[in-house]
């Protein structure tokens, strides 16, 4: 198996990234697909595209995805309130949550969205060695069978047009939650037309929140809330250990007002 990864930027600013785990005969098709994706991204046409093709040296971990939970959120204010309530229930201190949201709002990489993720401990400190690149969860994919299960589930919810966003985020969240020391993840997209994001954890699963920012907002990113980690081991597993989702963990719905009592 090979890891095929794409990263695209313009003027040094990150535009897009994606990856696949593939057999050798599928490399040309996968590479062309990722190049095509980079060239026609809504954030603009890149002036730099990097395609990395690497044979996997470590055995692949097969796993079931986190369960996907859909929510009835009508606007970004409700979305933020709901995300905060979920994170509080997972034991993340409020000041850590507020600090993380402030970074995502203004752009965690000096006013720009990061290529990777912030890592934040329970004292609200950012731990990633490179505050512009962050930590990029990598070497992960989903099988055709599991992808089909997911597609059928979200079709019934009327979310087929968001399949790529949901699938890739679910796979990433599944890997992040599997790494020891991860308490939770908060993410919303930096694509201007996509307002959704999520809160994810091993305990809670992947909770999709359809509005976590306003449309046309180009700032976004993700933060991994952690506790008691060995930083070198954490980064090594997040960036190098390959994971393949071979089964979809199922779908359910969560009511915003019922969960929060209508207030935070």
Show the CA angle centred on residue 126, arms to residues 70 and 113, nearest 5°.
60
Domain boundaries, the chain: 2-57, 62-260
Contact 53, 31 (CB under 8 A): yes
How confident is the prediction along the chain (264 residues), in pLDDT tens digits per residue?
Answer: 999 999 999 888 888 889 999 999 999 999 999 999 999 888 889 999 999 999 998 899 999 999 999 998 999 999 999 999 999 999 999 999 999 999 999 987 787 878 899 999 999 999 999 988 899 999 999 999 999 999 999 999 999 999 999 999 999 999 999 999 999 999 999 899 999 999 999 999 999 999 999 998 888 999 999 999 999 999 999 999 999 999 999 999 987 666 665 443
pLDDT at position 114 is: 83
pLDDT at position 258 is: 60
- How does 19-41 read in b/e, with b if 16+ C-beta sit within 10 Å? bbbbeeeeeeebbeebeebbeeb
The 243-247 sheet, strands edge to edge: 61-64, 243-247, 140-142
Interatomic CA distance for residues 264 and 259, integer angstroms: 10
pLDDT at position 261 is: 58
Contact 34, 4 (CB under 8 A): yes
pLDDT at position 257 is: 65
Distances (CA, A) of 118 to 195, 223, 262: 20, 5, 30
- Within 8 A by CB and 6+ apart from 235, the residues are 129, 135
Comparing C-alpha atoms, which of 4, 67, 60, 32 is closest to residue 242?
60
């Amino acid at each position: 198996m090979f890891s095929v990864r794409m990263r695209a930027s313009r003027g040094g600013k990150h535009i897009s990234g994606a990856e696949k785990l593939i057999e050798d005969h599928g490399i040309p098709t996968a590479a062309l697909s990722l190049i095509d994706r980079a060239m026609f991204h809504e954030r603009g046409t890149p002036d730099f595209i990097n395609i990395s093709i690497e044979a996997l040296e470590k055995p692949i971990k097969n796993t079931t995805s986190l369960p996907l939970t859909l929510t009835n959120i009508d606007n970004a204010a409700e979305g933020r309130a709901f995300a905060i309530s979920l994170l509080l229930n997972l034991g993340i201190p409020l000041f850590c949550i507020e600090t993380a949201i402030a970074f995502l709002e203004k752009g965690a990489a000096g006013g720009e969205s990061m290529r990777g993720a912030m890592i934040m401990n329970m004292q609200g400190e950012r731990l990633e060695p490179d505050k512009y690149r962050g930590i990029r969860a990598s070497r992960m994919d989903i099988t055709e069978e599991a992808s089909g299960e997911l597609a059928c589930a979200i079709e019934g919810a009327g979310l087929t047009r968001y399949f790529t966003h949901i699938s890739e985020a679910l796979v990433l969240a599944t890997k992040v939650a599997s790494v020891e020391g991860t308490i939770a993840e908060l993410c919303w997209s930096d694509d201007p037309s996509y307002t959704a994001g999520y809160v994810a954890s091993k305990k809670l699963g992947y909770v999709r929140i359809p509005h976590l920012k306003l449309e046309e907002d180009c700032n976004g990113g993700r933060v991994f809330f952690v506790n008691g980690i060995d930083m070198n081991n954490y980064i090594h597993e997040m960036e190098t250990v390959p994971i393949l989702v071979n089964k979809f963990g199922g779908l359910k719905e969560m009511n915003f007002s019922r969960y929060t009592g209508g207030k935070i």
